[in-house]
């Protein structure tokens, strides 16, 4: 069976304020956010992303170790499309990313 390989260009940003500054400079096809980030948490960043008309429909995946029902509820409230609990496998992450990018 032949394997398919996907290549993605990623930008790794270490804090939410840096991500906000790049929203007008880059046009990501998908966001992967953690809940716990310096300066601004993932919920705050997701809300800013959703409030930007350019990204209102861009998929947001939370990849986090915070897996309580409250964390999941808050992530859904701010508009996340999927929630992955760390640790996870590369295969799980890549499958979810490719599913959203294939839409």
Has residue 23 been placed in a domain? yes
CB contact set of 24 (below 8 Å; sequence gap of 6+): none
Q: How many domains does the chain have?
A: 1
Has residue 2 been placed in a domain? no
Task: For residue range 41-87, list pLDDT tens digits in order.
Answer: 999 999 999 999 999 999 999 999 998 999 999 999 999 999 999 99
Residue 1 in this model has a pLDDT that exceeds 70: no
Residue 65's domain spans which residues? 16-101
62 has which bridge partners?
A: 33, 83
Place of tokens 């429909």: 57
Other C-beta atoms lying within 10 Å of the C-beta of residue 85: 14
Would you say 64 and 71 are in contact if contact means Cβ atoms under 8 Å apart?
A: yes
Q: Distance (Å, rounded) from C-alpha 89 to C-alpha 77?
A: 26
Of the pLDDT bands very low, low, confident and very high (cuts 50, 70, 90), residue 14 is: confident
Place of tokens 């929630």: 83
Has residue 5 been placed in a domain? no
């Amino acid at each position: 069976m032949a394997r398919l390989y996907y290549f993605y260009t990623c930008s790794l940003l270490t804090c939410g304020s840096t991500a906000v500054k790049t929203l007008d400079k880059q046009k990501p096809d998908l966001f992967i956010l953690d809940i716990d980030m310096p300066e601004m948490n993932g919920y705050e960043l997701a809300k800013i992303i959703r409030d930007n008309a350019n990204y209102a429909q861009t998929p947001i995946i939370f990849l986090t170790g915070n897996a309580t029902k409250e964390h999941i509820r808050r992530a859904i409230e701010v508009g996340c499309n999927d929630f992955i609990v760390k640790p996870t496998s590369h295969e799980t992450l890549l499958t979810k990313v490719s599913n959203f990018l294939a839409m």
